[in-house]
Amino acid sequence: MNFTEGLPIYVQIAGRLCDEILCGHYPPESRVPSTREYSALLGVNVNTVVKSYDLLSQRGVLYNKRGLGCFVATDAPERIMAQRKADFLEKHLAETAREMTVLGISLDELNQHIKQYLHQHETL
């Protein structure tokens, strides 16, 4: 896994695991790899993965079955999508709106470009 600067590694690992849940690699109620297995897979310290799992447990994405490991919550995909939508609206949309104002881009113009982009990339 390639890590980027500016975001803690454990948060990036949590994001990767969320991506894997959303794409069905780990469906709801399935067991995720142990922290040791996942740390070996990613080549990171076990404690970093522990922090990632703790973060996802706090968010209700994972839960622990004593003696069996961590499992994906039944509503994990919905929780992940809701959080990502909120993050997008809070961070990216505000930045986009500011840039639109500076560049004089109207909502109609943006809408036209978004429709064109989605048409060209129908796999989204």
Q: What is the pLDDT of residues 60-104, one digit of tens each?
A: 999 999 999 999 999 999 999 999 999 999 989 889 999 999 999
Give per-residue pLDDT as tens, 97-120. 999 999 999 999 999 999 999 999
DSSP-derived secondary structure for 96-111: HHHHHHHHT--HHHHH
- Give me 52's structure tokens: 């990632």
- For the chain, the domains span 9-75, 77-120
Report field, pTM of the whole predicted structure over 0.85: no
Task: Round the CA-based radius of gyration of the chain to a whole number and report it.
Answer: 18
Structure token digits, residue 87? 């993050």
The CATH code of the domain at 9-75 is 1.10.10.10
pLDDT of residue 68: 95
